[in-house]
A = this chain, B = another copy of it.
Amino acid sequence: MTDVNFTDAGWLSREDMDAARERLPILYVDAVPVRVDDHGVVTAVGLLLRIGEDGQVKRALVSGRVLYHERVRSALLRNLEKDLGPLALPRVPPAPQPFTIAEYFPTPGVTPFHDPRQHAVSLAYVVPVEGDCAPQQDALELTWVSPEEARRPEVLAELANGQSTLLLQALAHLGV
């Protein structure tokens, strides 16, 4: 999970954000980008290749913080554009109900989700993407894999922070 540059965003300095992260759960959104056919059947799932804060290259879902005074829907769109570029044409679902929530704890093992930096609670959505994706910023590459491939142990093992669990939950929810 990555963030926008808070200093530029003008909401919170890096120091203040670090202080908040030690004392409050931080609200996130996670998006599983998918390609769908004419019948709405999911044909592919998009996985990012990202450089983590530790310099390691890992696969990841689209993920990011909800900012102060920002709608959840807008946070989803902003984070999708940040990772997939401005021409991705994401179709954010019309209903606000997430398909699940993911609780990332700084302590490993409390839940399947882990974030060494913070306690984050993420609202998770499946988002059909219709346009051209061009990974941005720290996202190096976007790979589309079939639902079957996405379930392979070697693919799941490349996802960091427990997002393999979230990906499996998304696939189960989609019935594929």
| A residues whose Cβ falls under 8 Å from a Cβ of B | 11-12, 16, 19-20, 22-27, 34, 36, 39-42, 66-74, 77, 91-101, 103, 105-107, 110-112, 119, 121, 123, 126, 128, 168-169, 171-175
Interface centre among A27, A42, A73 (most CB of B within 10 A): A27
In the assembled complex, which residues on chain B have CB atoms less than 8 Å from the CB atom of A42? Answer: 94
A67 and B25 in contact (CB under 8 A), knowing A41-B73, A73-B41, A74-B39? Answer: yes
Check B24 against A71 for contact (C-beta < 8 Å): no
A94 and B11 in contact (CB under 8 A), knowing A25-B27, A172-B173? Answer: no
Q: Which residue of B lies closest to A169 (CB)?
A: B172
**From B68, B73, B97, contact of A24 by CB (8 A):** B68
CB distance from A155 to the nearest CB of B (A): 17
How often does this chain occur in the complex, in copies?
A: 4
In the assembled complex, which residues on chain B have CB atoms less than 8 Å from the CB atom of A110? Answer: 69, 71
CB distance from A46 to the nearest CB of B (A): 13
In the assembled complex, which residues on chain B have CB atoms less than 8 Å from the CB atom of A171? Answer: 172
Tell me the bound Cα distance from A40 to B96 in angstroms: 10
17 A–B contacts, CB within 8 A, in A order = A11-B24, A12-B24, A23-B68, A24-B26, A25-B68, A34-B94, A40-B73, A42-B94, A69-B107, A71-B103, A71-B110, A93-B93, A95-B175, A96-B101, A96-B174, A169-B172, A171-B172
